[in-house]
Chains A and B, each alone.
Chain A
Amino acid sequence: MTATLDPPNPTTAHHLPEGTREIAFREALREAMSQEMRRDQRIFLMGEEVAQYNGAYKVSQGMLDEFGPKRIIDSPISENGFAGLAVGAAMYGLRPIIEFMSWSFSLVAADQLLNNVPKMLYMSGGQWGCPVTFRGNNGAGGQLGSTHSWTTEAIYSNIPGLKIAIPSCPADAKGLLTTAIRDDDPVFNLESERMLSDKGPVPEGEYTIPFGLAALRRGTWSGERDSDCTLVSFGRPVNFCIEAADELAKDGIVCDVLDMRTIRPLDIDSIIESLKRTNRIVVVDQCWPFASVASEVITQVCEKAFDYLDHQPLRVNTDDVPTPYAKNLEAEYLPHKGKIMAAVKTTLAGATA
């Protein structure tokens, strides 16, 4: 039996079972894939450099040795090709995991990803599902230039029929990916190259993390003291929010930090629950601001919890320009701690503590 990590309400810390060790994000991803591949023969992993090279970012290290070349497959440089091939394989009962070296390159496969993957089940009246897990690096921060630094959250989350997981720490990386692989629908798992070496406690055994359930990383809902502002984020910027919250705490400003863990489904209930306590919200999202995930969260907040707002909801995104290449420009462009702190303070301006 597989454990489920986290109770139905978000809590500050994971309830980590016995056998928890510190491992890196990339190892957590690998463990999820390997454990699932051991229990389910239908699963294979395909992508550029995943086999012989052990993955361009060493996520699939050792998997070729364990599972052999029939299940760990180096593909030609044909993103549209292997994305479409996965659709066919999934229609015929297999469970593909497709690694994009970068989600930036998934754009080559746009027709498969946007026009086939999410619609197969719908257009076949439920006959042909598409249980593929697509995963890879997403997001800027490594000075890779504009074409290699895509944050694909916004474009993909606009599409009905896709589930989108976006882990911020190793334990979630494993649990969310396990859930993704077992899901009967297509799931996009957005990882960050910048976090692959980050270490954190991860349980040894198999476990899933339910989709659509946020985790509260800072703040408590114990009723002792409500936080001053709700910070909502996804993936890597959750860590920027934690940094900002810790810094703000020194000035006596307390934030709830909600790590959404999946974009679709979106745990709007937890956001509203936090907002009821804080009456202020800042959404931090590493996409561009226009029609972003932050825009969606704020729209839903306005629709569903307008009366709880004491200040207009704010968002911190990347700048509304292509990702700059130069180090100093890219650093400024990201939704960094300084921007988050400034936004939180703006929501609190004029408020009496």
Chain B
Amino acid sequence: MPIRTVYKAQVDHLQILDEDGKVDDKLWRGDILSDEQVVFAYDFMITCRQLDEIAFKLQRSGRMGTYPQNKGQEAAAIGSGMAAVKGRDFLCPCYRENAALFLHGMPMEYVLMNWMGDERGNKIPEGVNITPISIPIGTQMLHAAGIAWAYKLRKEDRCVITYFGDGATSEGDFHEAMNFATVQNVPCVFFCQNNQWAISVPREIQMNSETVAQKAFAYGAHAIQVDGNDLFAVYKATREAIDRARAGGGVTLIEAMTYRLADHTTADDARRYRDEAEVASWRGKDPMIRLRKYLEGKGLWDDARQAASEEKAKVLVAEVVKRAEGIEKPAVTDIFDYTFAELDPELELQKATMRTSSIGQEPSQVGLNSGERQHA
């Protein structure tokens, strides 16, 4: 009996805007960004990059805890964020796609507050479709599958996009989320920012598969690898994936090839494990350099606009920092809030007396010596 091939697969890599700012016109057509939108995206990158650099400086001067810089990954965040529709679609992030969150209505100061150690920065404003930043690696992917499942059950024409890193694909959560999402055919897009490193661990040690995208095939999902520093490729691939998912056409795993230009977090020093030559080569692939070249080539940008944009960003970022730092410290009694939808009598009592974990500090709390204690 001859051996039959029962499965074959290939992963395509999409690049539309190359490192020199040249665009492939054959690919950049159809549902694409208008000139105004591209100008907006570049202008927004300038703001986000500045905010990122300021956050780094805040940490260095002791005004912020640990911060994971997003520098170099702006095209992946903004391209995908623009492909999703604000208010309609839902974002389940990790921590390296701040720009996408801002596009979908997350106030910039919230992200700063969060890394400054203020839980209130994690309280997503009403009407903004974003789950809180996920610090335990991988958990948000399952939440995304769950939200998408709810959309499907309620017959809502919406889509969820979940962000994660290359390292996160090693967690069971990734595989379980992919399997669940595809088996149930829910409107969900898995967006992997493959920035080549998970702290000090490079792709070859993290996984034996050459690409992240190929993992899609194991689950019967669509797969595509894009140049993650190419705004156009990211936008196009994400847009297609979202439209397909909404139409019931299946789940897509997008692997955006990008690079973490900064350290893993401010607690890290990547020079200890990364080759300077590698970093330098990726600096040349910076998403902002090529986009600026493209815009200048089209007469949509020049030095004067650059200077104006940078100045505007500076003012805006300064205001954001002011708002983040200006917020009053939380009150100590806030410790108890939100432990339950409604505080139970024990916690109410503890909140009122601020005699808490040491149950012995307040005789009335021990329930002896005093008749004051009133339990419902």
Contact = CB atoms under 8 A, between A and B. Distances in A.
Interface of A: 48-49, 52-53, 56, 74, 76-81, 104-105, 108, 143, 145, 147-148, 282, 289, 312, 314-322, 324-329, 332-333, 335, 339-340, 342-343, 346-347
B207 interface: yes
B199 A342 contact: no
B358 A315 contact: yes
Interface residues of B, number: 42
B206 to A, nearest CB: 5
B81 interface: no
Given A104-B136, A143-B65, A325-B119, A317 B358 contact: yes
Interface stretch (B43-51, B297-305, B315-323, B333-341): B333-341
A327 B117 contact: yes
B200 A76 contact: no
A211 to B, nearest CB: 28
Given A78-B170, A339-B357, A329 B199 contact: no
Interface string B159-177: 0000000011011100000
Contact of B199 (A56, A315, A316, A343): A56
A325 B347 CA distance: 19
Nearest to A349: B363
B171 A53 contact: no
Given A56-B199, A147-B136, A319 B361 contact: no
5 contacts: A48-B199, A78-B172, A147-B136, A326-B118, A335-B357
B9 interface: no
B135 interface: yes
Contacts of A321: 335-336, 339, 347
Contact of A324 (B272, B335, B357): B335
B136 A105 contact: yes
Contact of B360 (A78, A315, A335): A315
B206 A77 contact: yes
B135 A78 contact: no
Q: Which 3 A-B pairs have the closest CB atoms?
A: A314-B360, A76-B170, A53-B200
Contacts of A81: 170, 172
Contacts of B207: 76
Contact of A108 (B136, B205, B339): B136
Given A78-B172, A342-B361, 10 more contacts: A52-B200, A105-B136, A282-B358, A289-B359, A312-B360, A314-B359, A317-B358, A322-B339, A325-B117, A326-B117
B248 to A, nearest CB: 32
Interface in B190-206: 198-201, 205-206
B357 A318 contact: yes
B117 to A, nearest CB: 5
Contacts of B137: 77, 105
A268 B358 CA distance: 21
B366 A312 contact: yes
B168 A77 contact: yes
A317 B357 contact: yes
Contacts of A322: 339
B346 interface: yes
B350 interface: yes
Given A49-B200, A326-B117, A328-B332, A320 B357 contact: yes
Given A289-B359, A328-B332, A78 B65 contact: no
Given A77-B137, A321-B335, A315 B170 contact: no
B119 A326 contact: yes
B118 A76 contact: no
Among B65, B167, B201, B207, the one with the most A-chain Cβ atoms within 10 Å of its Cβ is B201
B7 interface: no
A91 to B, nearest CB: 21
Given A77-B206, A329-B330, A346-B360, A143 B117 contact: yes
Contacts of A312: 360, 366, 368
A108 B139 CA distance: 10
Nearest to A290: B346
Nearest to A111: B172
Contact of B358 (A49, A78, A145, A314): A314
